[in-house]
Amino acid sequence: MSKKVLSVGQCVPDHMSLRLLVQKAGAEIIGIDFEKDIDQALEEHQPELILINRIFDRDRASGLEVIARLRESENIPPIMLVSNYEDAQKQAVKLGALPGFGKSSLYDGATLDLIKSALSS
């Protein structure tokens, strides 16, 4: 069985790009749109990594606030923020996320390496 990545709050085109990236890393991706669905998805799919959009596409929720909430829980897998904004990336790391990546770097080999590294930890 392959490893699983939970992708939260992405628009359809970004989710499709992330799916290709995650598949190259040897994992499958599960996409959800809303924060309210995260706990159920975590229990149901038991992902090894969570990718969170900075601003959710469907309801404009803050990915940074979601990271803060998740990091208060136990047994949460590693989290990465998907954002081109360096200040948001720094804030996500301060909240307990791994260094993430921006949408502009989805096709960089370094981004694939980040995903693989997060999945192997």
pLDDT at position 89 is 98
Domain coordinates of the chain in residue numbers?
Answer: 3-120
Third-level CATH fold of 3-120: Rossmann fold (3.40.50)
pTM, two decimals, is 0.96
**pLDDT tens, residue by residue, 67-93:** 999 999 989 999 999 999 999 999 999
Burial of 81 (0-12, 13-18, 19+ CB in 10 A): buried
Burial of 96 (0-12, 13-18, 19+ CB in 10 A): middle
